[in-house]
Every structure is written in structure tokens, then in C-alpha cells.
A and B are shown apart, each in its own frame.
Chain A
Amino acid sequence: MNAWLLAACVLLGGGFAPCVALACRGEPQQRLAAASLAAVLATAVFLLLAQGFGRSSYVDLALVLAVLAPAGTLVFTRLLRRDAVSGKGE
């Protein structure tokens, strides 16, 4: 195991897992914040795994996630805002 794979494992266990746990409970806004942070961590993990395994083509996965994750978060903010304005709860 090289340093890149070790860093990916540390980020998965020490960073991604708590974010997923936070994204599963609490207020919707806080869950969205945790999901947004989890997306950044997942991008970093994909980059590190691509380097660790020596497969440069795997970087495309991180590129797609880096583009789509902010767009997904913005869509979620629109949906949650509509709920908050209409008072339909979470």
C-alpha cells in the first residue's frame, strides 16, 4: 500500500463515514451541508485511488463528480427552499 492509497483509506474512514452519518439525520439544511462535504471528500478519494492504483483513466470519475456534485447541491437547495416557503415541512 502506497501513500496515496493510505490517504484514501484515511479519508474514507475518518472523513467520508462521519459525513454520511451526518447526512442521514438532522435538519435538511444540515444534511445537505454534510452531503456537499461528502462529495468533496469522494472527489479527493477518487483522485487518490486513481494515483494509488496507477490508472490515470480513473481520474475521469473524479472530473465528472467535481462537475456534477455542485449542480446536484444547487438543485437540492431549490427543492428544499420550495418546501420551506410553502411550509410543507422537511
Chain B
Amino acid sequence: MTPRHLAALVLLVLGSAALLLSVLGLLALPKPFARLHALSAASSAGLPLVGIALAVDTGPGRSAVKLLVIAAIVAVGGPVTTMAIGRLVGQHEGVVEEDSPE
């Protein structure tokens, strides 16, 4: 087992643990706004770590860059969707005005 493969496995375990932890958070956290925290762990930590693990295992090249781009897209898209869902929950609970600017 090469050091590169070992590093990839460590990153894979960390990323998978973050993803599973976010699922656990979604299941366990009681309030709607608290559950939104679970989403950010998956998109900001879990999937980027998995993507980096795959890129490290693949080695330098176009394939690794593609994997990192996918991880970056998810890392950028995650907070955006979390904000949109948070706004929706706020409108539903009356915390945010319904006609507030987009």
C-alpha cells in the first residue's frame, strides 16, 4: 500500500464520516432551522473530502482536476441551497416577511 493510497483512504473515511454525520444530524436534530446545519456538513466537508480522496488516488492529471471541480461545484452549491431552504422555512414560520426582497 503506497502512502498516496493510504492518504486517499484516510480522506475517504473522513469524508464518509462527515456525510453520515450530516444524515444523523438531519435525523436527530429537533427544530427545522437546526436541521439545516446538517446540510452544510455534507456539502462543505463531506463531499469535498471524498472528492479530494478520489483525486489523490487518481494522481495528477485531467481526471483529478475533474473530480476537484465536481467537489468545488457541490461546495459552492450547498450553501446556496441551504440559504434558499432557510429562507423558505423562515417564511413558513413567519420569521421572514413574505414579500421581502429576493
Q: Are A73 and B85 in contact (CB under 8 A)?
A: yes
Chain A nearest CB: distance from B75 CB in Å?
Answer: 10
Chain B nearest CB: distance from A44 CB in Å?
Answer: 5
Q: Are B54 and A29 in contact (CB under 8 A)?
A: no
Complex Cα–Cα for A57 and B70 (A): 14
**0/1 string, B38-81, CB within 8 A of A gives 1:** 11001100110011001001100001001101100110011011
- Sorting the interface of chain A by its residue count into under 10, 10 to 19, 20 to 34 or 35 or more gives 35 or more
Chain A neighbourhood of B12, CB < 8 A: 3-4, 7
Chain A nearest CB: distance from B54 CB in Å?
Answer: 5
Q: Are A47 and B67 in contact (CB under 8 A)?
A: yes
Chain B nearest CB: distance from A55 CB in Å?
Answer: 11
Q: Are A66 and B70 in contact (CB under 8 A)?
A: yes
Q: Are B35 and A33 in contact (CB under 8 A)?
A: yes
Q: Are A41 and B77 in contact (CB under 8 A)?
A: no
Chain A nearest CB: distance from B81 CB in Å?
Answer: 4
Chain A neighbourhood of B47, CB < 8 A: 40, 43-44
By Cβ-Cβ distance, the 7 closest A-B pairs, closest first, are A70-B77, A73-B81, A77-B84, A66-B73, A15-B23, A40-B42, A29-B89
